[in-house]
Each structure stands twice: as C-alpha cells, then as structure tokens.
Amino acid sequence: MEDVARRAGVSTATVSRTLRGLPNVSADTRGRVLAAAAELSYVVSPIASRLASRRTHTVGVVVPHAARWYFSKVVAGAEEVLREAGLDLLLYSLGDLSARTRFFDQLPLRRRVDAVLTVAMPLTEPEYEAVHTLGVPVVATGLRATGTHCVRIDDTGVMLTAVEHLAGLGHRRIGMISTYADQSMWLPVAHERRAGYLAGLAVTGLPVEPDLVVSVPFGVSGGERAMRRLMERPDPPSAVVAESDELAFGAVAAARRMGLAVPGDVSVVGIDDHDLSDVMDLTTVRQEVVEQGVQAGRMIVRAVQHPGEEPRELVLPTSLVVRGSTAPVAGSSP
Amino acid sequence: MEDVARRAGVSTATVSRTLRGLPNVSADTRGRVLAAAAELSYVVSPIASRLASRRTHTVGVVVPHAARWYFSKVVAGAEEVLREAGLDLLLYSLGDLSARTRFFDQLPLRRRVDAVLTVAMPLTEPEYEAVHTLGVPVVATGLRATGTHCVRIDDTGVMLTAVEHLAGLGHRRIGMISTYADQSMWLPVAHERRAGYLAGLAVTGLPVEPDLVVSVPFGVSGGERAMRRLMERPDPPSAVVAESDELAFGAVAAARRMGLAVPGDVSVVGIDDHDLSDVMDLTTVRQEVVEQGVQAGRMIVRAVQHPGEEPRELVLPTSLVVRGSTAPVAGSSP
DNA sequence: TTGTATGCGTTATCAT
DNA sequence: ATGATAACGCATACAA
C-alpha cells in the first residue's frame, strides 16, 4: 500500500479511502490512486483489512449434510448473494453427531464470522445459546425460529395441500411416510408435516389411523422400507403422502417392485419438487429451495449492516404440482 | 491474550506458543496457560494470527454449480478433511459466464488462500495462468490436469465399460447421449467419454454411426430431448449410453413417455451411480464422488504443508453396476 | 479533501 | 524454556 501511495503521491490513508470507495476523495486523486494500484496490480490484504476494521466480512453457513439436495440448493442460493455483497462464505457440514457436538462445544466460529446462517438446523436450547454467545446475527432457513431471523415455508400447509389433493381424488385411506430424527436434526419439520397430514385428514373428514403413519430414516431407501411396510398390511392405504420427494421416490420404486401400479393401486405425493420429480412423474408440492437461500442471504446482508434489528420471518409460497403419480381412487366414480 | 498471559504469570509469547502446541513449553506453564485461557474462555483471533503468520489457513474451492449433484458431493468430501486439518473452505460457485470471467479477471482469491481446489473446471490457458499467479498450490478434480495435482477417474474407461456391457448383451447399434459445453465448462470430460464410446465400438467390432451421437445441454431435460431425437429416427438404436446418470434419467423417462419399454425396446446405461439410480433401476458405471473430494482434500493438505512438490495424479477406480435398464437385445439369443 | 499517528491481536526474531 | 519487541498490512480518529 505504501508503494501505491508513493506512486500516486499521496498518503496510505488516502489510498485506503480510495480503494474502499469512500466519498471524501477528490476525483483527481482517486484517479491517480486507482491508476497506481492497477499498475502495481495491487489489492488490499483482506486479512490485514479485517484485523484493522474489526469486521470479518465472513458468514458461517452451517448445514447438516452439505451433499444433500436441499442443503446444497440453499447454500448455492446464499452463496450468490453473499458473494455479491462481498461476504465470504465459510461452510460447516455437521455430518454426524460427534461433529455436531464438537462444533457447539468449541464454537470454531468464535471471532471468525459477522453472521451465521443455519440451514434446516433445529437447535437445542444449549446449542441456541452457544450460537448466541458469538454475538452476531443469526438467520435460519427451513424451519420456524424464535429469536432469530428466518425464512421458511409453511410446513404444515404443504402437507395439508397434499392430503387435500388426494382426498379430492376420492382417497379415503391415506398413509404417510415420515422420518424420525436422524440425530435430532430436522425434527421440527417432520413434526409440522405430520401435523399437516393430520390437519388434512381433519379438514377432509377422514378418520385418523395411526398405523398408517410410518417413520423411517431420511432417504430413498427409507422411502422404500416405509412403502413396503404400508403395502404389506392386510388393508393397505390407497394413497400415500411422503414427507419429501426423496422418500416418495423410494416409495414409488418399492410399490412397483411389489408389483403394484402407481397410481393404479396406490397414489403417491411428495414435497419439494426435486429436480428429478418430473422424470419420476411424481405429484408433489413445490417449494423454491434456491430462493430460500437467496432470501436468507439477503437477510444476512441486512443483518450484518444493521445488527440488532427485530427478527424477521419470511414464509415463501408453495404450490401443488400434479403429475402422474396420483389418480382417482380405484373403484370410485369421482 | 494479554489477560491470559497475566493470569498465567507468563508473557504473551508463551501463551502464543502454548496455544499453538509448540514443543518448547514446559508442562507446568502449559497447564497454567491452558487453565487461564479456559477460565477466560479465550480463543485466538484467527485473523490476527493469519496476519502475523502470513498464512491464510484457507483454501478456495471453485465449482461451476454448487447445487449440482457431482459438485456438492465433492465439496462435502473435501470439506470434511479440510475442516479436520484446520483449513477454512471458501466456496466460489461460478454459475454463469459473467461470474466466471469476473472471477478470473479480478481474482478475488488473491492474498486470500493458501491453496485452490478446482472441481471439474477445465481452465483455458489464460485462466490457468491467472490461477497460477496466485502463487499457491492447485488441486483439480474431475478431469485430467497438467502442471497441477489432480484426482479423477478414467473417463474414457467408464464409457468403454458401458459400451462393452451393452455389446455383451448383443446390442450392435448403440447410441450415445453427450453434452455440449455449457460455457466451455466440462468440455474435456465430454470429450473423453465420447472417445471412450468410440473405443468401445472399436473394441467390440461395431461400426461407427455418427448420427447415433447426439449432444444436448447437461441435465435431465437434455437427456429427454436426446432420447426423443434418437428414438424418432427411422432406425433407432437398441441401446443408449449416456454421459451421466442425470442424462440417463431423462432418457429413460422420455423413452417410456414415447411408449417404448426400457429395457425391452431400448436399453440405457449411465455413468455415476447417482443416489437415485437405484430407484430408477438404472444400469450405470459407478464412481466414488465423495471419495474424490476426500482425496482432493488430502492432496490440498499435503500441498499446503509441502508446497512445490511434484504434481501428483490420482485415478480412482470405477465399477459397472448392472440393474434393470439393460437387457439382451430383442430378437437375439444371447 | 488529505495527512499523521495509533491500534488491530497475533507471530516471530532475538535475546536471555 | 521464557521474555521483550518488532513486524504483519491495513483502518481510523484526529488534526490540518
């Protein structure tokens, strides 16, 4: 920086001001400084800059599984706007329980980030407090949050929509594929969607049959297992809603492997509108996942610039996408 | 840090040494320092540490599309080992061409990273040089690289395997679904896989029919388009290989939507063993994508510790996974 | 608008 | 093994 200052005939302070785009620099000197910097192909050291300014210009993004569809989409959406805003994105993937406890124990984010974005990470009370000791704004996506900003969808609503769709097709016995917490992550969403399922039954006047709700680990193979369990019953349901499309994929595959026709013998609905839902011809309730990341990124940017603002909540819309995995119930005249 | 030093009755230098685990600290003082640090819940400022040590402890990971299956897997694999090694992972997703040119123009990684990991990013000559002006080690995954470390698979080999599998089933007219460069990314892989296809034909003594190779944009819908083009011909092939599973998914869906049976009327083989290939019952050639990220991460760690080493190349194994999308050619007695 | 001088919180060098 | 002290490369309060 001294070199640039000398070459431009100014002080390092002016160089600093110029390079940061501060207003109080005359157009003339600004030009000389920029020219000098360009000639020397100089760029400020972000590290030194951060030390001096006491701001990290970094946001910590913590996800349960960086490689999963939902999370990678959200991260990609957030990355775009954070990058745009000049914020570095520090990725933490808390795959297993040990990684998670270590993370909240040691808090590697201390003195390291200006904000935190949690992607579909329900926090326990101690975890929540640990994050808040960081003293930086927090934005959560994928679930309802109290005390922090959040962007999410109506998780009970999507399931209600799915059930109403099936009921509208004449289905009166509807199963649900749910997940149990893999390591206490994801819990609230599973809970809300189950609530939405029950709400759907209530609204459409269908009886609740507890045995028609099966819980499995998240993933395609979980969906397969669940579907087998449901359809091997003496009185299988004529339709099934799945907590997510990936579960639904497994469900459809399992049904077909059992020799059942989808949607002939059993209709299936998912949630997400996964990239592959179209080729799987899966009826689903669409959510805009990348958009969630984008909006969360914007919230982060705002929060970094105006910390201490009231926590805001953004609920993004969803929409039913009817495809070929659902049909009127067999033997009915809809 | 001064507080800790005072509390432990030592100098800040000793605190620094202790906290970094340097050997030249007596067990006694070490204990006192650690205790003091714990009591004050003190952690070193990574930023100050980096400024003083002149090492960023950060690696830049640059990918074309953070949200796509392949890339998110590699990133997740790399994240794990980088985190373990105490290296921050700075993610850059170069979605479109403008983002890409800006990236290589301005080189936001300057003075910011100790190493760079490029994930399936074929670099033009100027881009290659731009990256090397960073003066840090570079590791590439997903493609053959010269002058840098790299971890990849045998891209011609996988396609050769796919073709040999089909030829072994009696297929004599095999189409290929290829991609054209979306913005010059991904080019070499497409090229090598096409070469593998041709090699497969040669090895099995099949004639080359240029019209049986169709190029489409990457993605499920690209696969659909390609399959329609192939099967609408007066003399459609009896089998099709796709450059990747996602293309193959689209191909299978398109064939079925045209009323064709898979594998009855046309067999389909993909490359990847995508998470959903099992439910799609897709025969494919499996590659270990997360493992590629892990290995790349290890290479990065080594490169950061011992810069200037000879570029190493790691070629990971692949394996044919036979599922239900391939069958002996109709009308043959295999 | 511009310059001076101090501080940011460490690491590293050189003594001891 | 430990301590004093000078970098590290900037931002910023203050003065001009």
Q: Which two tokens stand for residue A182?
A: 């893999």
Which class in CATH covers the domain with range A55-153+289-317?
alpha beta
pLDDT classification of B185: cutoffs 50, 70, 90: low
Percent share of chain B, pLDDT over 90? 88
pLDDT classification of B262: cutoffs 50, 70, 90: very high
Give me the pLDDT at residue A334, please: 42
pLDDT at B257 over 80: yes
Q: Measure A20 CA to D14 C1' (Å).
A: 20
Give me the pLDDT at residue B333, please: 46
Q: Which residues, in sequence order, are bridge partners of residue B64?
A: none
Nearest CA in chain A to B102: A84
Query: Which is it for strands B115-119 and B138-141: parallel, antiparallel or unpaired?
Result: parallel
pLDDT at B193 over 70: yes
As a whole number of Å, the CA-based R_g of chain B is 25
Contact A113, A82 (CB under 8 A): no
Q: Is A85 on the interface with B (CB under 8 A)?
A: no
Q: Measure B12 CA to C13 C1' (Å).
A: 15
Q: Which of A268-272, B143-147, B238-242, B279-283 bottoms out in mean pLDDT, i.e. has the lowest?
A: B143-147
Mutate to test the interface with A, among B45, B91, B112, B258 (most CBs of A within 10 A): B91
Q: What is the SS3 assignment for B320?
A: strand
Give me the pLDDT at residue A39, please: 95
Q: Show which positions of strand C are touched by protein (CB under 7 A).
A: 1-5, 7-13
Say how many C-beta atoms besides its own lie within 10 A of residue A194's C-beta: 19
Say how many C-beta atoms besides its own lie within 10 A of residue A153's C-beta: 24
pLDDT, tens digit, 9 for 90 and up, residues A247-258 = 999 999 999 999
CATH 1.10.260.40 spans which residues of chain B? 2-44
Q: Is A72 on the interface with B (CB under 8 A)?
A: yes
pLDDT at A97 over 90: no
Give me the pLDDT at residue A185, please: 58
**How far apart, in whole angstroms, are the C-alpha atoms of residue A38 and residue A100?**
45
State whether A279 and B250 contact (CB < 8 Å): yes
* Amino acid letter for position B23: P
Q: Chain B partners of A275 at a C-beta cutoff of 8 Å? A: 220, 246
**How far apart, in whole angstroms, are the C-alpha atoms of residue B102 and residue A201?**
53
The helix, strand and coil proportions of chain B, stated in percent and rounded to the nearest 5, come to 45, 20, 40
What count of CB pairs under 8 Å joins A to B?
Answer: 120
pLDDT at A184 over 60: no
Average pLDDT over residues B190-218: 96
pLDDT at A333 over 50: no
Q: What is the SS3 assignment for A267?
A: strand
State whether B250 and A92 contact (CB < 8 Å): no
Instruction: List, in sequence order, the alpha helices (H) in chain A.
Output: 2-8, 12-20, 27-39, 46-53, 69-84, 97-106, 125-132, 155-168, 187-203, 220-231, 245-257, 289-305
- Give B291 to chain A, closest Cα distance, Å: 12
Q: Which of A296-310, A314-328, B114-128 has the highest mean pLDDT?
A: A314-328
Nearest CA in chain B to A275: B220
pLDDT, tens digit, 9 for 90 and up, residues A229-250 = 999 999 999 999 999 999 999 9
> CA nearest A242: which of A319, A314, A189?
A189
CATH of A2-44, one of 1.10.940.10, 2.40.30.30, 1.10.260.40, 3.40.190.10: 1.10.260.40
CATH 3.40.50.2300 spans which residues of chain A? 55-153+289-317, 155-287
**How far apart, in whole angstroms, are the C-alpha atoms of residue B315 and residue B285?**
15
Q: Which residue is nearest to nucleotide C8 (CA to C1')?
A: A52
Give me the pLDDT at residue A331, please: 64
**How far apart, in whole angstroms, are the C-alpha atoms of residue B160 and residue B168?**
12
pLDDT classification of A126: cutoffs 50, 70, 90: very high
Query: What is the pTM (predicted TM-score) of this model?
Result: 0.93
State whether A279 and B224 contact (CB < 8 Å): yes
Average pLDDT over residues B237-251: 98
pLDDT at B291 over 90: yes
Contact A66, A75 (CB under 8 A): yes
Give me the pLDDT at residue B334, please: 41
- Give the mean pLDDT of chain A: 94
For residue A51, give the nucleotide whose C1' atom is nearest its CA: C8
For B:257-286, CB contacts with A below 8 A are 275-276, 278-281
Average pLDDT over residues A188-214: 96
- Give B91 to chain A, closest Cα distance, Å: 6
Q: What is the SS3 assignment for B232?
A: coil
Q: Which residue is nearest to nucleotide C5 (CA to C1')?
A: A13
| CATH superfamily of the B155-287 domain | Response regulator (3.40.50.2300)
Q: What is the SS3 assignment for B118?
A: strand
Give me the pLDDT at residue B72, please: 95
pLDDT classification of A180: cutoffs 50, 70, 90: confident
Q: Measure A4 CA to C8 C1' (Å).
A: 22
